[in-house]
Amino acid sequence: MIIFINGSINSGKSTISKLLSQKIEKPAVVEIDSLSEFIEWMPIEESVPINLENAVAVIRNFAKRNFNVIVPYPLSQKNYDYMTENLRGIDEKIFVFTLNPKLETILKNRGERKLNDWERKRIEYHYAKGINSPSFGNYLTIMQTLSREPLIYLCKKW
């Protein structure tokens, strides 16, 4: 099974992914953003396609070995189309869950995470682009506040 946890920066993707990984067998959490660390000198517009290409290879590798792959990442329509097209042929179900806290909630610092100006601008960009409310996905989980409730919902599905 391949599970995309979609949403903007600070929406809870990594937290939900880590918690979900504790509830399913053979989890592999693929943090696409960590792939950008190899080429952190490159502008984001140039690095995203490379990161997605590398992510497809990593996801395919884990899926081939029967891991349950969890992918926390903000998916635009273009990136969703790229991922689904390039994961075609994998004999695994693909699920997409989108986390959608209110904009005023997501722009606040939470716990130890302190947002910088670039992250706040990127969150506003994501919301303007509709990453928080896409038209794609098998399942859409809407969070109006940051909580663990979607995790409970996700875990009950399996």
User: Which residues of the chain register pLDDT less than 70?
Assistant: 138-158
Helix axes 77-86, 44-64, angle to 10 degrees: 30
Instruction: Show the domains of the chain with their CATH numbers.
Output: 2-151 (3.40.50.300)
Greatest Cα pair distance, the chain, in angstroms, is 41
Q: Where are the beta strands (DSSP E) in 24-111?
A: 27-29, 68-72, 94-98
pLDDT given for residue 150 in this prediction: 54
Distance CA 68, CA 131 (A): 24
pLDDT of residue 110: 80
Would you state the pLDDT for residue 27? 96
**Whether 98 contacts 134, CB under 8 Å:** yes
